[in-house]
Amino acid sequence: MIKDIASIVLILAFIGIVVFLDVPGVQGVLQTRKDIEIQKQTLIDDQVFLAKVNELTKIYKDNKESIDKIDLILPLKEDIPNLIVQVESLVFEQGLILDKLEVGIPVEDGGGTINPEDVRAKKESSSSKYKTLTISLGFTGDYSALKNFLKATEENMRLIDIESIGISPESENMGIFGFDLSLKTYYQK
Amino acid sequence: MAEINLVPIEYRERKDRWKKVFSKTTFIILFLVILSLLLHGGLLIYKKRLNTDLGIIKQEISILSNKRTPSEEEAIINLDTKLGLLKEVFQIHTYWSEIFKKIEDLTMPDVYFSDAKLTLEQNKIFMQLSVLTKTYTSLAKQMLVFQNGPLTQKVEISGITLSEKGEIKFSLSSAFPLSTLLINGEKNKTTK
């Protein structure tokens, strides 16, 4: 009888130890090992990330001068005063006489514009993260000056695109034309 | 023959008492209990070691995090965004300087343009020209040259009239694909 009671007590103790101590213990160990694996992977990812960031930072610092030029190509703001100076300079450098210069008011949603019939600009602006400013330009001069102006505009630091060109002869002067241009420039949102 | 037992009587009695309480099975179960307790102990030690390792890894992650400079990362992200924008605008950047040369190449020697209007719309450059020429043959030739031009599309002639000076005046409309401006752009970009 005593033997049976001792056996039962020990069996219960054994079951209790296994169920309440060993099984949770094993589960805990497995969970911790899993956590270690996750953390190890995080560590590796962080190391790779940091190495990449350091590499990119070095490239960034080495090319800081060129990178700063991006803000000149695509300014952070409209920067209309600077734009007017640039356009005026582009016109005068080619020996053209500036008759008209109008800068459009940008619409809030990226570039939208000013020029309501400009379907293309609207399409571009709806999906992009930059805004567009339109410029209406009127100047007088000869044909070769216009071509020089176009070339200079293409190479201008601030990106300017031409949307339309109108040419009409000046009645009094042979070889002198009146030019009407619609330009487009961009800036970051 | 009498059995000779050298084990002291007291000890023999104590052993017998144990035998009354514990059978062989009980001993096996007791062994298992001890074993499971040892296992639990082992698990506790092992888990403690694992936790130490986990702590070290977490500390290393924390050290790495401290090494990060958010301002530099932000600058790189900003640069990436800016480069994306730049790529986007350069893809649609148009180069008009050469288009007039292309039109000149397509123009007959005795043909003159007075008014001209070039508009970029719906991925095409629409061109409207007021043209002056001396003969109808020149007019026809001019039309043919534009029609057969590698880049011109849909050439139309309208409003043919004879001016007071005896010149033939007409309107010529045509369209160029947008690629005319972009292809040139690609060329320009590589030379920059």
Interface subset of B 3-42, CB within 8 angstroms of A: 20-23, 25-26, 29-30, 32-33, 36-37, 39-40
Helix (H, G, I), strand (E, B) or coil at B153: strand
Q: For A170-174, which contacts have Cβ atoms below 8 Å and span 24 or more sequence positions?
A: A170/A140
- Minimal CA separation from B7 to chain A, in Å: 25
Interface subset of B 140-179, CB within 8 angstroms of A: none
- Minimal CA separation from A65 to chain B, in Å: 13
Contact A167 B83 (CB under 8 A): no
pLDDT (tens digit per residue) in B16-34: 666 666 678 888 888 999 9
Q: What is the pLDDT of residue A7?
A: 84
B117 → chain A, closest CA residue: A166
Q: What is the pLDDT of residue A105?
A: 65
CATH number of the domain located at residue range(s) A73-188 in this protein? 3.30.70.60
**Whole-angstrom Cα distance, residue A10 to residue A20?**
15
**Beta-strand runs (E) in chain A:** 97-103, 130-142, 160-169, 176-188
pTM of the predicted model, to two decimals? Answer: 0.72
List the end-to-end C-alpha distance of chain A, in Å, as a whole number. 89
* Cβ contact B5:B12 at 8 Å: yes
> Which amino acid type is present at position A48?
V
Q: What is the DSSP string of A38-77?
A: HHHHHHHHHHHHHHHHHHHHHHHHHTHHHHHHHHHHS-SS
pLDDT (tens digit per residue) in B162-184: 888 888 999 999 888 888 787 54
Q: How many CA atoms lie within 13 A of B53 on its CB side?
A: 16
Q: What is the pLDDT of residue B27?
A: 86
Mean pLDDT of A74-86: 92
pLDDT (tens digit per residue) in A25-76: 999 999 999 999 999 999 999 999 999 999 999 999 999 999 999 999 999 9
- Minimal CA separation from B180 to chain A, in Å: 14
Distances (CA, A) of A177 to A188, B108, B113, B142: 35, 21, 11, 23
- Residue numbers in B near A147 (CB within 8 A): 97, 100-101
- Strands B124-133, B168-177: pairing is antiparallel
Angle at the Cα of B88 from the Cα atoms of B85 and B90, rounded to 5 degrees: 110
pLDDT (tens digit per residue) in B30-87: 899 999 999 999 999 999 999 999 999 999 999 999 998 999 999 999 999 999 999 8
Q: What is the pLDDT of residue B122?
A: 79
Q: What is the pLDDT of residue B190?
A: 41
**Domain spans of chain A?**
2-62, 73-188
* Best CA proximity match to B176, nearest among B154, B160, B159: B154
pLDDT (tens digit per residue) in A92-146: 999 999 999 999 866 444 444 434 344 444 444 455 678 999 999 999 999 999 9
ipTM of the prediction greater than 0.90, yes or no: no
Hey, is the C-beta of A3 within 8 angstroms of any chain B C-beta?
yes
Looking up tokens 């403690």, which residue turns up? B48
A186 alpha-carbon distance from chain centroid: 12
- Count of helices and strands (H, E) across chain A: 6, 4
Going by the DSSP 8-state scheme, the letter that residue A112 receives in this structure is B
**Whole-angstrom Cα distance, residue B184 to residue A153?**
14
